[in-house]
Amino acid sequence: MLDKCVAAALLLFAAQALPAQQHFDGAKALAYTQQFVAIGPRWPTSPGHTQAEAFLRNQFQRDQVEEDAFTANTPIGPVAMRNFIVRFPGKKDGVIVLASHYETNYWLRNINFVGANDGGSTTGLLLAIADQLRAETAHSKTGKDKMGKLEGYSVWLVFFDGEEAIQSWSASDSTYGSRHLAAKWGRDGTLGRIKAFILADMIGDKSLDIQRETRSADWLVALMTQAAKKFGYDRFFFQTESPVDDDHLPFVERGVASIDVIDLDYGPNNSFHHTAQDTMDKISARSLTIDGDVFLETIRLIDLR
């Protein structure tokens, strides 16, 4: 058995073995998650939801942000919801969408459900990815091009509202924000510009095991597998497969190449999922580093395609 000192030294060695500057800043993503989750429950119609919206608005003051407010037709009547779309323009014609959801479940409003992993961790992940994209665009700023552009495709970050059911999950009581936006982008022609739609859900889990979601596009799964291999992260990705109903489906149904990057194995027998146990101590900077590394590398590979 290892004594505590040896174990601590080994951990320190393992941490140092990865030069920090070559990796995505998962610690920063975790810090964003912490700040966001500190708001508390943020189910539609709650004061926490209004605070969550204000938090996102504040984070993206310097960016091209669109607030996509709409009214969802739900089992409890019309509910005001709001997606956030943050656009980082690229030099190539076409768009890569990175999406997540930010709200918590209305039907869990009577417990202290803060969704640290579910909705929290991927909001923090996208915020830290935004920092990276902002730095890349700033780098390319010239006199003529004051905004700056990414080298590859435009990247749009989407924070969906209303992914969770209001009462109980069904095709009509779930994924309100993504159904609204996919329909809107279908009408105005935006969908035709999307090269890839990448959804992140519940991937802050300390024990990361991302499923291969069966409706996801094969070529996107293959590119993400290749991206994971580059960092030696193969074992965290696609070791099992299952269909998952999530915010990617409205895009899949409209023919957009999509992938749901989800770990639906959260705690022993998934016992932390949708319970008051979904708290900050269950998620890690390490998992968010893995996610960020692989997402950014996947974007790079899509740009090269």
Q: Which residues bind Zn ion (CB under 5 A)?
A: 118
Kindly state the DSSP code that residue 283 receives in the 8-state scheme. B
Closer to Zn ion at the Cβ: 64 or 270?
Answer: 270
- Give the integer Cα–Cα distance in Å for 154 and 91: 7
Q: Name the residue type at position 166.
A: I
Closer to Zn ion at the Cβ: 118 or 136?
Answer: 118
Q: Helix (H, G, I), strand (E, B), or coil: what is residue 95?
A: strand
Q: Smallest distance from the beta carbon of 104 to Zn ion, in angstroms? A: 8
Closer to Zn ion at the Cβ: 115 or 152?
Answer: 115
Q: Smallest distance from the beta carbon of 101 to Zn ion, in angstroms? A: 8
Q: Name the residue type at position 32.
A: Y
Q: Smallest distance from the beta carbon of 270 to Zn ion, in angstroms? A: 11
Residue 132 tokens, joined: 């990276």
Closer to Zn ion at the Cβ: 118 or 265?
Answer: 118
Q: Smallest distance from the beta carbon of 184 to Zn ion, in angstroms? A: 23
Closer to Zn ion at the Cβ: 90 or 115?
Answer: 115
Q: Smallest distance from the beta carbon of 116 to Zn ion, in angstroms? A: 12
- Give the integer Cα–Cα distance in Å for 255 and 228: 25
Closer to Zn ion at the Cβ: 118 or 303?
Answer: 118
Q: Smallest distance from the beta carbon of 164 to Zn ion, in angstroms? A: 5
Kindly state the DSSP code that residue 245 receives in the 8-state scheme. -
Could you give the C-alpha distances from 202 to 97, 210, 211, 240, 290, in angstroms and in order? 18, 9, 11, 16, 13
* Of 292, 294, 296, 299, nearest in space to 29 by CA: 292
* Of 151, 129, 116, nearest in space to 25 by CA: 129
- Give the integer Cα–Cα distance in Å for 60 and 153: 20
